[in-house]
Chain A
Amino acid sequence: MQDLLTDVFPLRGGRAHEVTGQGATVFAAIICGIGQRSDRRPAMWLVEDWRTEGLNPDGLAPFCDPHHLLLARVADQKTMLASAEEALRSGALSTVVAEVPRELSFTAGRRLQLAAEEGKATGILMIGEGMGNNAAESRWHCSPLFSPKFRQDQVVMPSQQTSDSTLQRWQLIKNKSGTLGCWDLIWDAETRRVIVVSEAGERPHSAARGHDDAFCPHVAAE
């Protein structure tokens, strides 16, 4: 029995969440966009300054509004956590995304959680594969999904923007206040919402079953 995505998404505000996997950037960008639209506060994205993989505002535009997205470059993880805490607590931002390359301590996670509560902001920690700490409200594993079948059928494609509304698999692998879940969905840039495509029994990802299926309880039960 799987919950509806709407029970857990959009993410609970005033909490810090974790996201991992290849699709984490898009997931975070979508959260930023939701935050920007719902309470008109900008978002901030914290990265360590040695990273070469930069965000591309033109690519982010379908998901969130790049001109209300601030980018903060920090020197190391300690500064990043301190900055993220300050940013969350300030109340000036709707979403704070931090690309955290190394494991967080429970204390650090909890501090971010408290800061997010105080500033009524959503914290997104982009963590590496297999990391995570217990203080997080929820943890998501996001990855782009290849589905030839889905492509052939063109089942639900409200907008024909196949490039932007690409198929994603979002797995909720930790949830403090609810059950876990696994959804395949597309992003509809026109209406700016996610459309779940895999609620029926037929699953569109048969061609590509990687190791990460283990994360997905639904699939694991099959």
Chain B
Amino acid sequence: MTTPFALTLQQSNAERLYCLNESAERDGLQRGMGLADARALCPQLQTMPADREADGHFLQLLARWAGRFCPWVGLDGEDGLLLDVTGSTHLFGGELALLETIGERLARGGIAVQPGLADTRGAAWALAHYGGWGGDEAGAARHDQSPSCPTTQQVSHQASRLDTRLAAPGKALAAIGGFPIAALRLEEKVCTGLMRLGVRTIDALHALPRATVTRRFGLEPLLRLDQALGHREEAISPLSEAPHYGVRMSLPEPIGLADDVMAVAARLLDRLCDKLDRQGAGARVLQLTMRRLDMEASQVELRLARPMREALRILPLFERGVGEVDAGFGIDMVRLEATVVEPMADEQMASVVLSHGRSDRKVEGSASPVDHALDDLVSRLGSRIGLENILRFVPADSHIPERSFSLQPAAWTKAVKAWSSPDGPFEGGRGSAGGACPRPVRLFPPEPIVLPLSAEPDPGRREPPAHFRWRRMQLSVASARGPERIAPEWWWEDPAWRSGLRDYWWVETRQGWRLWLFHTPQNRLSHLSSWFVQGEFA
């Protein structure tokens, strides 16, 4: 990009430049500058908000990519990679060639990099961040990625300057000695303090008597100096590989009996569950792939109601799926993979005493055998009818009767204690408000009632009609209670509530039905009946 461009970030109540391109730097902009100042300096500046999460994700990907150069790759801050290239530089034709390769490959992807390579992590960091010091630094883009490689080394994609980014073995001080103090990864405060005393470069710091520096600034400056010069060791922590939850078993002879497949699955499950246990994870979706002799593969997918890692509980859930598989000429390879994994805390074993009769007081988070049985049942039924079809009532905050609750898949929700406690006396629940506003047992989409022909239409009438037909039944009203006025939620567009206010009546008929009728007083346009039945009481 040739026009000035910058990413901005909201930092302590001000938009500041987070990252900028070379063109913007040439115009005198700097990282950390306020956006308003930057615009004043450079009116044609284009900006976009920074997405640090995506940046972090990208850095992870880059770290994974960097695994091609050496096995140990770690992260350095938000914008650096740390490669321990000890012993792997010769594969790329030497240290300088390695830096060139890295620079070239990244440049092909449009990524500018500032590498640095030295004996120690500290020196490599200094070379990566201050490697162009003294040269035409203003021209160098300070970009997202600056791989720094420790223990042995680290780096700029301009080949001409690469040697200034490289510290020969044992020559760390010579390479970084002229860099400012900040190249030692010191705190801002310490840096400023040292600068005030005239200690501007690493050389100057190195020349000072150690005792005086420690007395004035604590251990940090010398610790960092020692780390950079290799007097004190500093490890890098490579990123751990994401664990892979897949196990497989190849069989010397093909098998075809469901029992045999289950036996194989049991062994695989044991291994998989061990792995899950070590990682503190539980499987949410499991996939059992059975490859037949003729290379066809059939899969059984198991979606679990809860993250699980107990082989004994998971195994029976596979029975139904395995029973339906066509083994053909036989199965010679079985593979089990946990395709969706969720973190799962270690569970406290619920004691037998607690699970009997006192389960209401069981430790929060512990699962009783009843819960386990229910989860297993939900998983099993879920494999038959789909996990999303096993639902739980979840209260919702609305006066609209059909929206006062929602149905959520039981596998992803926990029972809430909002309606009533099973132990306390019934308070009539949340919505029914102690019986003042009774709610029907069944709700259905409003069904218009038919008024007898003899009754002259009276739009102003507020009381329920004395006689009406509903579902081809002639009903006569014995008593009615109401109205309970419910207003539509204007912030929630709902076609069913376009007719405006509803006056709900509890109506008991002589025929026994107890219905929930409503009337829409605001709806004067409709020539149809403005009375509807929406629910049925006990």
Contacts and interface: CB of A to CB of B under 8 A. Distances in A.
The judgment on whether A and B are partners is yes
Interface of A: 22-23, 25-26, 29, 36-37, 40-42, 49, 52-63, 65-75, 79, 82-83, 86-87, 90-93, 143-146, 148, 151, 161, 163-164, 166, 168, 187, 189-190, 192, 207-208, 210
A68 B415 contact: yes
Interface in B361-408: 370, 373-374, 376-378, 380-381, 384-385, 389-393, 395, 401, 404-405, 407
Contacts of B377: 86-87, 90, 92-93
Contact of B405 (A56, A75, A83): A56
24 contacts: A26-B441, A40-B370, A42-B415, A52-B444, A52-B445, A54-B442, A56-B401, A56-B405, A56-B442, A61-B428, A72-B381, A72-B385, A72-B389, A72-B390, A79-B384, A82-B384, A92-B377, A144-B538, A146-B509, A163-B438, A166-B514, A189-B435, A190-B425, A208-B511
A71 B391 CA distance: 5
A93 B419 contact: no
B220 interface: no
Contact of A86 (B380, B442, B535): B380
A67 B413 CA distance: 11
Nearest to A57: B393
Contact of A59 (B378, B395, B416, B443): B443
Contacts of A166: 508, 514, 537-538
Residue from A63, A73, A79 with most neighbouring chain B CB atoms (10 Å): A73
B506 interface: yes
A214 to B, nearest CB: 16
A164 B538 CA distance: 7
A11 to B, nearest CB: 18
Contacts of B432: 58-59, 61-62, 164
Contacts of B373: 90-92
B528 interface: no
B385 A83 contact: yes
A5 B113 CA distance: 85
Contacts of B389: 49, 72-74
Given A25-B441, A26-B538, A73-B385, A163 B422 contact: no
Nearest to B356: A40
A144 B381 contact: no
Contacts of B330: none
Contact of A42 (B374, B417, B430, B510): B374
Q: Interface on chain B toward A: helix, strand, loop, or mixed SS?
A: mixed
B479 interface: yes
A74 B392 CA distance: 15
Contact of A151 (B357, B384, B425, B479): B479
A26 B385 CA distance: 26
Residue from B377, B425, B514 with most neighbouring chain A CB atoms (10 Å): B377
A53 to B, nearest CB: 4
Residue from A68, A151, A164, A187 with most neighbouring chain B CB atoms (10 Å): A164
Contacts of A92: 370, 373-374, 376-377
B178 interface: no
Nearest to B421: A65
Contacts of A52: 444-445
Contacts of A83: 381, 384-385
A29 B441 contact: yes
Contact of A66 (B378, B393, B438, B445): B393
A164 B537 CA distance: 8
Contact of A75 (B357, B385, B415, B536): B385
Contacts of B510: 146, 207-208
A72 B391 contact: yes
A102 to B, nearest CB: 18
B279 interface: no
Contact of B419 (A26, A65, A190, A210): A65
B444 A58 contact: no
Contact of B441 (A37, A56, A72, A192): A56
Nearest to A142: B538
Contacts of B407: 71
Residue from B417, B435, B538 with most neighbouring chain A CB atoms (10 Å): B538
B359 interface: yes
A57 B419 contact: yes
Residue from A29, A57, A65, A168 with most neighbouring chain B CB atoms (10 Å): A57
A68 B410 CA distance: 11
B448 interface: no
B218 interface: no
B391 A56 contact: no
A82 B481 CA distance: 43
Contacts of A62: 426, 428-429, 432, 435
A179 to B, nearest CB: 25
Nearest to B405: A57
A58 B405 contact: yes
A86 to B, nearest CB: 6
Contacts of A87: 377, 381
Residue from A29, A40, A210 with most neighbouring chain B CB atoms (10 Å): A40
B513 to A, nearest CB: 7
A86 B511 contact: no
B509 to A, nearest CB: 7
A103 B404 CA distance: 34
A70 B443 contact: no
Contacts of B419: 57-58, 61, 65-67
A74 B385 contact: yes
A53 B444 CA distance: 4
Contacts of B267: none
Contact of B513 (A22, A54, A164, A168): A22
